[in-house]
């Protein structure tokens, strides 16, 4: 894998011309030659990762378009509470909306693929047009790249991955998707939420002048339940069942969760930060190897500083939001804007942002103008990774250290076990309660 281009400039949505994309899609996207007009033609969906969020994403996709059918599922373990919870999401949605389950979900034993290599069998199906990737975060870069190489449109949950090489892999997959006329929409649903889009539009029209700084938070209770190894579980299953408790699986909560708020900062400011300096620690959490909290100063250049704070400690003040200060006003991410009056259009939001992101994705496929959010989600994830590395090590971490400076020790930093380790059966769980110590990590 080569490194990404040094030019990592921001774009809200990366689009190419309808004419070019329509012709490329007919040649390379692997879809039948059909119009996808008016929501009547079928879009056949494969779900990779049928856990809680996977089932939720599948239900959101079904709600977004009447032509969607779930035709295949790949999951490492088609048993247990998480898989059943995912299937329950889909069944409950069908029942609530009076949709016959067997007409919207056409998964059979022949189109259910198990194991860590099962996604390859799903992607080999010609009858899959769009894949939903809802596996643990560490698998996302590999699954995305494979899906694009197989000619599939993609919805991929955030975060984009756990380490810098994975983020460059996501960006490269996004560039390949552009060449092949394929859509990639990420699970950063705020970019599809009407109020956030209205505020972003107003800022682009100069409603608060030049942004000079801000603060972003994801401070919540989190979970204090330590991971427990069940009888008969090997290290691979133990980590997958408890992926949210291990940094190599989730990226730590600054990556898995707080990337939402960091994505808003990149979006509203129009670029990623140039460096980060932060700290964090752990006092409450038991088991796994993640921190309880992070506090990071993000330097966006031109004297623009954004403070990032995220915490998972029960019994404390909670807030999940963003605020930015400009030379002529201020704005809350999806809330109040105080500044100059500008004309702001209405933006569609049907069924909430989790459904709207699928509506936007499918509409772009049908129109031959595929959305491509790969760089957006890779960069917001990379900001979170930059903050995590700084907190773990106590060092300033620069954007170039993760994107262009091949001599930086963090350029090639790879968290293990990797997705390939799971595929190859070479998984060893890390020691419990062993956390990075700043100055020594």
pLDDT score recorded for residue 191: 98
Mean pLDDT of 156-185: 98
Q: For residue 270, what are the contacts with CB-CB under 8 A and spacing of at least 6?
A: 10
Residue 217 has pLDDT above 80, yes or no: yes
Exposed, middle or buried: residue 52 (CB in 10 Å: 0-12, 13-18, 19+)?
Answer: middle
Q: What is the pLDDT of residue 78?
A: 75
Among 9-13, 48-52, 186-190, 298-302, the minimum mean pLDDT is found in 9-13
For residues 250 and 17, the model is more confident at 250
The pLDDT of residue 31: 40
The β-bridge partners of 372 are 184
The answer, yes or no, to whether residue 188 has pLDDT greater than 60, is: yes
pLDDT band at 19 (very low <50, low <70, confident <90, very high): very low
- 10 band by pLDDT with thresholds 50, 70 and 90: very low
Do 427 and 235 meet the contact criterion of CB atoms below 8 Å apart? yes
List of domains in the chain:
18-191+353-371 (3.40.50.720), 207-339+381-424 (3.30.360.10)
Confidence band, pLDDT 50/70/90 cuts, at residue 8: very low
pTM above 0.85, yes or no: yes
pLDDT at position 421 over 80:
yes
Specify the higher pLDDT residue, 32 or 230. Answer: 230
* 257-287 per-position pLDDT tens digit: 999 999 999 999 999 999 999 999 999 999 9
More confident residue, 336 or 17: 336
- Return the pLDDT at 76: 95
Tokens of 390: 């700084």
- State the pLDDT at residue 183: 98
Residue 344 forms beta bridges with which residues? none
pLDDT for 112 beyond 90: yes
Give yes or no for a cis peptide into 159 (omega within 30° of 0).
yes
Mean pLDDT over 337-359 rounds to 97
Strand order in 337-338's β-sheet?
337-338, 329-332, 319-326, 211-220, 305-312, 293-299, 275-281, 397-398
The 3-state DSSP class for residue 295 equals strand
Residue 389 pLDDT greater than 70, yes or no:
yes
Distance of CA 198 to the CA centre of its chain: 22
Predicted confidence (pLDDT) per residue in 290-337, tens digit: 999 999 999 999 999 999 999 999 999 999 999 999 999 999 999 999
Nearest to 161 by CA among 183, 127, 137, 144: 137
Looking at residue 39, its pLDDT comes to: 46
- Percentage of the chain modeled with pLDDT above 90: 86
Instruction: Quote the tokens at residue 174.
Output: 């996004």
In the structure, what pLDDT confidence band is assigned to residue 224 with cuts at 50, 70 and 90? low
Element housing 148 (H / E): helix 140-149
pLDDT digits (tens, 9 = 90+) for 32-89: 334 444 445 899 999 999 998 999 999 999 999 999 999 999 999 977 788 888 999 9
pLDDT at 13 over 50: no
**pLDDT tens digits, one per residue of 397-415:** 999 999 999 999 999 999 9
With a pLDDT cut of 70, the percent of the chain lying above it is 90
């Amino acid at each position: 894998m080569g490194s990404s281009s040094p030019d990592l400039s921001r774009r809200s949505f990366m689009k190419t011309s309808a004419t070019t994309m329509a012709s490329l899609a007919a040649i390379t996207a692997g879809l039948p030659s059909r119009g996808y007009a008016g929501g009547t033609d079928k879009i056949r969906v494969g779900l990779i990762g049928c856990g809680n969020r996977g089932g939720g994403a599948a239900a959101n996709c079904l709600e977004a378009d009447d032509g969607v059918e779930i035709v295949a599922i790949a999951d490492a373990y088609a048993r247990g509470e998480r898989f059943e919870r995912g299937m329950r999401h889909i069944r409950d949605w069908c029942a609530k909306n009076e949709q016959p389950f067997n007409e919207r979900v056409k998964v059979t034993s022949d189109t259910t693929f198990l194991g860590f290599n099962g996604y390859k069998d799903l992607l080999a199906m010609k009858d899959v047009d769009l894949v939903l990737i809802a596996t643990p975060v560490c698998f996302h870069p590999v699954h995305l790249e494979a899906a694009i190489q197989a000619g599939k449109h993609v919805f991929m949950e955030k975060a984009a991955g756990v380490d810098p090489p994975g983020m460059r892999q996501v960006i490269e997959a996004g560039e390949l998707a552009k060449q092949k006329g394929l859509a990639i929409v990420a699970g950063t649903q705020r970019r599809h939420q009407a109020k956030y889009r209205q505020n972003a539009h107003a800022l682009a029209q100069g409603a608060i002048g030049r942004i000079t700084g801000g603060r972003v938070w994801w401070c919540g209770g989190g979970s204090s339940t330590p991971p427990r190894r069940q009888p008969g579980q090997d290290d691979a299953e133990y980590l997958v069942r408890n992926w949210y408790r291990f940094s190599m699986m989730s990226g730590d909560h600054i990556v898995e969760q707080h990337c939402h708020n960091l994505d808003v900062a990149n979006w509203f400011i129009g670029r990623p930060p140039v460096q980060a300096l932060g700290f964090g620690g752990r006092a409450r959490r038991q088991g796994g190897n993640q921190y309880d909290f992070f506090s990071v100063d993000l330097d966006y250049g031109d004297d623009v500083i954004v403070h990032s704070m995220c915490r998972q400690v029960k019994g404390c003040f909670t807030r999940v939001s963003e605020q930015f200060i400009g030379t002529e006003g201020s704005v809350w991410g999806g809330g109040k804007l105080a500044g100059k009056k500008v004309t702001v259009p209405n933006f569609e939001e049907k069924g909430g942002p989790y459904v709207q992101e699928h509506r936007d994705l499918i509409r772009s496929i049908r129109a031959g103008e595929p959305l491509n959010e790969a760089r957006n989600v890779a960069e917001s994830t990379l900001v979170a990774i930059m903050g995590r590395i700084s907190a773990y090590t106590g060092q300033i971490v620069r954007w170039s250290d993760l994107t262009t400076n091949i001599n930086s020790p963090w350029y090639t930093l790879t968290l293990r076990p990797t997705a390939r380790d799971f595929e190859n059966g070479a998984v060893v769980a890390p020691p419990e309660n062993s956390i990075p110590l700043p100055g020594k990590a």
